[in-house]
Every structure is written in structure tokens, then in C-alpha cells.
């Protein structure tokens, strides 16, 4: 029973006090559907999310398939090669350089993308890749909604941005902040929310069918859905308050 095996795996880690600081339960979510194929997601302690990649004819089958993908990734995450070490950082930076137009010298310059990635890895030395994934997802979302660009314009350094957001988890408050960012974008460019949501749903489905980790795509969908819900429930929604925009908070930190 793969569902029970996944549950027992994470209960064992919690008993060993080896689970994530923001530890919680294994949570399943089934998409509402009048008939097959059915889709199920499973979110692990720490926030990593996986889904069924096979075509499933029942909700129970979809849940088992999602649990199987999550269990394989949970076990794989225990391998020494998935823990951030000096050797791991060196290899990761070399791979990043090979896939971009950067150079190895950029790794020592935090003002570059390669340097920021290097800094993030070094700041998370000893963690596993699933633990590191939450911070990476936050920065993927900040890049997606334009917050990183706005922060660069305020002259905040990458180290300051990374240090600031490393203190926070991806929770309802952060989602609400990002949803309000998209509400403001919708006021400036009507229709952009629906367009982004369609793209997010397509990316989520493609990633799920490929057996990939899904949190970034799922968070995008939830943030955009939240923004649309707020717009339709309150068409005259006001601008973000002073204490509610992450950019304002970080400018104060800066």
C-alpha cells in the first residue's frame, strides 16, 4: 500500500526529528471531476508537491499513483548525492554556467544570477534538495510576478533579498501579497490574469504528466485563482496596504 508507505516514511522522519522545520502532514488533494481521468496531488512536509502522471480511472488510483511518485522522490532525496555539499555546489554552479551565458568567475559575484545561485546554495549547506526547494520556489514566484525586478530598481542587493526571504515560508500571507500584485497588474492590463491562469494550468498539467515536482506551477495557479476570486467578489478592491506589500517591507529592511 504505497499511500501507507509514504505516510510511514514521513512519520518515521518526524520521530527522528529529521523532518522539515515547517513539518506537517502528508496532504492529498483530488481535483473535482465528474468522471475519469482523475487527478490527485500530494503535498509533503516542507511543501514539495507531486501528482499522478498516469491516466487514472478512479480517485483511489490517482491518489495511489501520486503517492508512488512522492515516495520515489522522498526516498531519492535521502541519498547523499541530494544533500548540499561543497562538491554538490561546485557541480551545480558548473551546470548553471553551462546552461547560461555566464562564466565561473560570476560565481564569486553576488550581483550576477550565477553568483546569487551560488550564494543561495552556500547559505543552505547541509540541507537536502527538497528542503532547498521551498526557497527556490519563493524566488521563482518573485521572479514570475515581477517583484525581483522591482527590488533591483530599489538598489537592494541580491544577498539582502535572499537573506530577507530566507526567513519566511510560502504561506497564505505571502500568497495574498502576490495575488494583490496580480490584481494591480490586471488593472493596468485587463485580461492578463485570465491569460496567465490558462498558461499556469497548462504548465501544471504538462509537469504533472512528466512526473515533475509541481509546487511552483501549483502555487502560480492558486495565486492567480485567488486574485481572480478577489476581483469578482469585490470589483472595487482597494490598493495594497502599507504593511502588506513585500516590496515595502524589504525597502524598510534595506
In a domain, 118, yes or no: yes
Domain count, the chain: 3
Q: What percentage of the chain exceeds 90 in pLDDT?
A: 47
In a domain, 109, yes or no: yes
Give the residue carrying C-alpha cell 472595487: 236
pLDDT-derived band at 196 (thresholds 50, 70, 90) equals very high
pLDDT-derived band at 74 (thresholds 50, 70, 90) equals very high
157 and 101: one domain? yes
Residue 65's CATH number: 3.30.160
Cβ-contact 169, 215 below 8 angstroms: no
Q: What is the pTM of this model?
A: 0.81
143 and 111: one domain? yes
229 and 204: one domain? yes
Structure letter (DSSP) for residue 243: T
90 and 13: one domain? no
146 and 204: one domain? no
Q: pLDDT, tens digit, for every residue of 12-49?
A: 887 776 555 445 689 999 999 999 999 999 999 888 99
- Over residues 121-150, the mean pLDDT reads 86
C-alpha distances out from residue 154 to 144, 151, 158, 167, Å: 18, 5, 11, 20
In a domain, 209, yes or no: yes
Q: Which domain holds residue 201?
A: 171-233
Cα separation, 44 vs 50, in Å, equals: 8
Cα 197 versus chain centre, distance: 16
153 and 141: one domain? yes
Amino acid at each position: 500500500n504505497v499511500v501507507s508507505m509514504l505516510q510511514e516514511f514521513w512519520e518515521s522522519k518526524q520521530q527522528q526529528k529529521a523532518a522539515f522545520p515547517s513539518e506537517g502532514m502528508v496532504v492529498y488533494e483530488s481535483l473535482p471531476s465528474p468522471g475519469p481521468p482523475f487527478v490527485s496531488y500530494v503535498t509533503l512536509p516542507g511543501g514539495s508537491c507531486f501528482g499522478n502522471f498516469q491516466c487514472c480511472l478512479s480517485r483511489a488510483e490517482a491518489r495511489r499513483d501520486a503517492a508512488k511518485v512522492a515516495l520515489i522522490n522522498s526516498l531519492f532525496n535521502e541519498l547523499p548525492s541530494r544533500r548540499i555539499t561543497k562538491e554538490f555546489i561546485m557541480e551545480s554552479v558548473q551546470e548553471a554556467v553551462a546552461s547560461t551565458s555566464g562564466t565561473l568567475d560570476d560565481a564569486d559575484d553576488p550581483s550576477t544570477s550565477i553568483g546569487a545561485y551560488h550564494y543561495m546554495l552556500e547559505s543552505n549547506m547541509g540541507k537536502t534538495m527538497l528542503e532547498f526547494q521551498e526557497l527556490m520556489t519563493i524566488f521563482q514566484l518573485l521572479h514570475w510576478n515581477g517583484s525581483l525586478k522591482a527590488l533591483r530598481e530599489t538598489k537592494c542587493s541580491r544577498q539582502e533579498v535572499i537573506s530577507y526571504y530566507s526567513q519566511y515560508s510560502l504561506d497564505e500571507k505571502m500568497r495574498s501579497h502576490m495575488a494583490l500584485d496580480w490584481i494591480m497588474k490586471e488593472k493596468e492590463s485587463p485580461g492578463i490574469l485570465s491569460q496567465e491562469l490558462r498558461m499556469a494550468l497548462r504548465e501544471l498539467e504538462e509537469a504533472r504528466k512528466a512526473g515533475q515536482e509541481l509546487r511552483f506551477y501549483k502555487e502560480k495557479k492558486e495565486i492567480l485563482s485567488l486574485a481572480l476570486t478577489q476581483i469578482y467578489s469585490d470589483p472595487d478592491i482597494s490598493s495594497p496596504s502599507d504593511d502588506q506589500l513585500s516590496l515595502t517591507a524589504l525597502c524598510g529592511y534595506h
